[in-house]
Structure 1
Amino acid sequence: MFGLIPVNSFLKTTLFILIFSGCSNLMKQQDQIPFEPPAKLNYKKHFTRHQSTLDPIEGIWTEYVVGTLSEDGKVIKRKEIPKRAIWIIIKSKGEYRILNEYGEQNKFIASFKRTPKKNTYTFNVYYLESKDRVMAEATLVNGNRLEMAFDAPKGIFEENYKEFMGPNHSAGSDKQLTLHWQFNWLKSFPHD
């Protein structure tokens, strides 16, 4: 009887280690599976079903941006931010609504409108919190890249300054700072 206690204890310990390491491996595998929000998956299905009738601007886009911070016209920092956001563009009542990857416009109301100039759109966004509005010209290049640029308005500048410069820098009221954004949105779905 006394000889069985260490064997039982050994078996329990071994079984625990096997189960724990198996669960750890399963969790690591799940972490490697990219998560796609349900809204993004649903829009992929929509774009697949309606691919023959989509306008070239409609689809799922990945945003890349270069921010240039200037003080009194002198560049003090440039920062590239790859894959900053995922956007869904879908036609709605004569314009192209811009949604985040969760299918929402929770911090902004944004859209593109076609202009008379070929492959050119007007980008229009209203930021709900700061009450800032931006309008900029956007160009569709080769059907799979949107290009646009604008200076960040005051409220958006203040919101993004710390992200851009880091927490140890202060914008300061005596400085004439501007933050110029250059955007490239690359179409990730549907592919031509």
Structure 2
Amino acid sequence: MKNRFEPKSALLYLIFSLFIIILSGCTQLLKQQTAIPFEPPATLNYKKYFTSHKATLNPIEGIWTEYVVGTLYDNGTVVKREEIPKRASWIIIKNKNEYQILNEYGEQNKYIASFKPAREKDTYIFNAYYLKSKDRVKAEAKLVDGHRIEMAYEAPQGMSDQNYIEIENLNHSDKQLTLLWQFNWLKIFPNPN
């Protein structure tokens, strides 16, 4: 006796097989798309600007990646030390007599910051005003070998309060906490060589 369900089973098997093939293809396409790095339009536009003005740029101008080490102290004793690689990307561009610092979207939305040239060669003064906490920071920054900026500063109290939560979930009302940030910015564009 012939099985009446055989054609239906074959059709279901065919539909299921096609579904698996399509799903597999979509998964591969999705993996390929997520592997493509995204660059915000502002970053792309500044890259064009830096490329066309390369001969007249100051060495501090360009696109930078920030690496930072945050060390939290309680009355001089280290509570926690955290290294944060590639924490942010920054665009530095000349604006009158200073070098404005923008995020990768071309904005200054968390703080207004700049570098001003100091008297010593390859030395700048970093100035920042944090919009949320209303804190101000001023620190010396060194440009090393034309492709690395080094600076460090003790975070002001209002800024520290925000970052204590980020670094360590602490109730710090009974502690004398200090947060020291040590920064290395590496130039990624234009290539300094």
The TM-score bracket by the shorter chain reads over 0.9
- The residue aligned with 2:47 is 44
Residue identity matched to 2:76:
G
Q: Tell me how far apart the structure 2 counterparts of residues 89 and 120 of structure 1 sit (CA, whole Å).
A: 15
What residue ranges of structure 1 are gaps of 5+ in the alignment?
A: none
Q: Counterparts in 2 of 1:73-152, with a 5 A limit?
A: 73-152=76-155
Partner of 1:157: 160
Equivalent-residue separation in structure 2 for 1:180 and 1:2 (angstroms)? 74
Is residue 180 from structure 1 mapped to residue 183 from structure 2 by the alignment? Answer: no
Deviation at 1:140, TM superposition (A): 0.5
Q: Aligned residue pairs: how many?
A: 189
Percent of aligned pairs sharing the same letter: 65
Q: Which runs of 5+ in 2 are unaligned?
A: none
Pick the structure with greater CA Rg: 2
CA–CA separation in structure 2 for the residues paired with 1:20 and 1:79: 41
The CA deviation string for residues 21-73 of structure 1, in whole angstroms up to 9 with x for no partner, is: 10011111111111111111111111111111110000011111111111112
Equivalence map 1:7-26=2 (5 Å)? 7-26=10-29
Give the match for residue 71 of structure 2. 68
Opposite residue 125 of structure 1, the aligned amino acid is: A
Letter of the 1:54 partner, please give it.
L
**Which range is displaced more, 4-13 or 111-120?**
4-13
The normalised TM-score by structure 2 is 0.93
Deviation at 1:117, TM superposition (A): 1.2
Deviates more, 1:83-92 or 1:71-80: 71-80
Q: How far 1:74 sits from its partner (Å)?
A: 1.9
- TM-aligned CA deviation for residue 188 of structure 1: 0.8
In 2, Cα distance between equivalents of 1:62 and 1:137: 18
Counterpart amino acid of 2:171?
A: S
With normalisation by structure 1, the TM-score equals 0.94
**SS of the counterpart of 2:49?**
helix
Q: 1:67, 1:3 → 2: CA distance?
A: 68
